[in-house]
Structure 1
Amino acid sequence: MTPPRHNVHGTAIVLGTAGFLVTGPSGIGKSRLALACISAARQMGHFAALVADDRVDLSIEQDQIIARCPASIEGLIEIRGAGIARLETVPAAVMDWAILPVSAPFDPRMPPENEELPLPLGRSLPIVRVPIENGVHMLAALRALLPEKLGF
């Protein structure tokens, strides 16, 4: 029996051995953050891939949150202002964290402790906030916030 899937607005990526659901309102920079992290990880010689951009199908399988891409947008990522591009993908991945892109002014300055993203599956993912300011190396910020979690 196929587990029920819930389609959510977001971008799902894999960096090293960890899966991330990038979330937030339209225009916040989800695709930009995902593309920057994937590109930086690959330049460093690490595994990184897109699962889905803009819409993500989520399900619970073997007690894990699994992300997949709807067939109609498989392998596509939006580069806002430039168009749609093709990118190497993986068909499915376990989601370990939610990334919330944030920009200045930071209010609150420090994120709430144990912040979680509730999902329509009746589960949640721990949130890590990543600044998307010009000049901020997003993968470096993510690696500093989650040491030893990426597998590289």
Structure 2
Amino acid sequence: MAEKCFTVLDLLDLDLKEHNSLNLRCIGGRKGLTREISIPDLNRPGLALSGFFDSFAFNRLQVYGRGEVAYLRKIEEDGKVETIRQMFTYAIPCCIFTHNLVPGEMFFREAEASQCPILQTDLSTAEFSARIMRILSDVFAPRQSIHGVLAEVYGLGILILGDSGVGKSETALELIKLGHRLVADDVVEIHCVSGNILMGTGANKIIAHHMEIRGLGIINVTHLYGIGAIRDKKQIQLVVKLEIWDASKNYDRIGTEEQYMEILGVNIPKLEIPVKPGRNIPIIIETAAMNERLKKMGYNAAREFNKNILKWIESDNARAVYFGSEDII
């Protein structure tokens, strides 16, 4: 069971637009809107309506399409109240009717008596099921908040980390000026989708696209650089950790050994970039983004360089052996 507390009222209050909109409205059982949705899954209660309650998945959202509503009408015509009454003895989160369908008076009466919410949508059953599963998967995804900056650079989601004062926000500001986009500054909320995709967004929508620049204060990126300089969420595909240059530390100069950072059980490629006067960090991050895209396309510059060096050494040694040997007559 999911630990997140998410109620039917929360489902109705979700700010969903366009292809995510569920078009839900409550048509009965309003007293039960505080019922908790604990499992991100659906159930079509056809067997339960026929009186078979073994393995009844009552703790899921109960979706009623045209088939279930037609059967409900037959039950009511036959006066089989006991089946409907028995179904509502279970702690059902809510009943959702698609195609703008409406249950009969008997169903309404039993739902009101058990304080079970009845919701309605104009979407088809197949379309509603696809949308609600996508939304519930996002709502119940594991989450973690990280102190850092998330930006989109050349289409790649880059999470910039580092100690306070190292220059994360200033780097992100320069990237925005170069035409890239800000997702979140200071606190990035990360959630894992489908078990292997990390999506990052601002922890607070009101302040997500504001930045704190020391010596300047709070700035509104949207107002300064336009709507094209921001986006609400982005998949995290690369982690860049900024740190003050340490002369005693050996930094990777070739790039053959790849590092990873584990976030919510997912390994993300990680780069450690030392910061010191004279280094153009935004340009380095731009280059890192393009290099990472090349890697995803199957080309690794560091490995290719290493391979060419080995070939050169082998061929050079072969020539030395050949020309250094004495001809035997």
**How would you bin the TM-score normalised by the shorter chain?**
0.7 to 0.9
User: Does the Cα contact within 8 Å between 1:15 and 1:150 map onto a contact in 2?
Assistant: no
Higher-Rg structure is 2
For 2:190, the aligned partner's letter is L
Distance 1:18 1:64, change over 3 A: same
Q: Which residue of 1 aligns with 2:98?
A: none
Q: Which residue of 2 aligns with 1:117?
A: 261
Q: Which residue of 2 aligns with 1:6?
A: 144
Q: Which residue of 2 aligns with 1:129?
A: 272
- 1:49 pairs with one of 163, 181, 186: 181
Which of 1 and 2 has higher RCO (CA within 8 Å, sep 6+)?
Answer: 1
Question: How far apart are the structure 1 equivalents of 2:292 and 2:265?
Answer: 24
2:192 paired with 1:60: yes
User: Does the Cα contact within 8 Å between 1:33 and 1:132 map onto a contact in 2?
Assistant: no
For 1:108, the aligned partner's letter is K
Question: How far apart are the structure 1 equivalents of 2:221 and 2:186?
Answer: 14
For 2:198, the aligned partner's letter is I
Distance 1:145 1:18, change over 3 A: closer
Q: Which residue of 1 aligns with 2:211?
A: 77
Secondary structure of the 1:73 match is: coil
Question: How far apart are the structure 1 equivalents of 2:260 and 2:293?
Answer: 19
Q: Which residue of 2 aligns with 1:91?
A: 232
CA displacement at 1:107 relative to structure 2: 4.0
TM-score by length of 2: 0.40
Distance 1:117 1:106, change over 3 A: farther
Secondary structure of the 2:162 match is: coil
2:175 paired with 1:37: yes
Q: Which runs of 5+ in 2 are unaligned?
A: 1-135, 223-229, 295-329
Report the count of equivalent residues: 144
Kindly indicate which of the two structures has a greater share of residues assigned to helix: 2
CA displacement at 1:81 relative to structure 2: 2.2
Question: How far apart are the structure 2 equivalents of 1:131 and 1:92?
Answer: 27
Can you list the C-alpha shifts for 1:61-85, whole angstroms capped at 9, x where unaligned? 2331100102242211111221111
Distance 1:134 1:150, change over 3 A: farther
Question: How far apart are the structure 1 equivalents of 2:290 and 2:220?
Answer: 30
Can you list the C-alpha shifts for 1:95-152, whole angstroms capped at 9, x where unaligned? 1000111332344231493222222x1223211123433332223222444544369x
Secondary structure of the 2:177 match is: helix
2:162 paired with 1:24: yes
CA displacement at 1:24 relative to structure 2: 1.8
TM-score by length of 1: 0.81
Question: How far apart are the structure 1 equivalents of 2:172 and 2:192?
Answer: 23
For 1:49, the aligned partner's letter is R
Q: Which residue of 2 aligns with 1:45?
A: none
Q: Which residue of 1 aligns with 2:243?
A: 102
2:282 paired with 1:139: yes
User: Does the Cα contact within 8 Å between 1:19 and 1:97 map onto a contact in 2?
Assistant: yes
User: What RMSD over aligned residues (CA atoms) do the two structures have, in Å?
Assistant: 2.2
Secondary structure of the 2:292 match is: coil
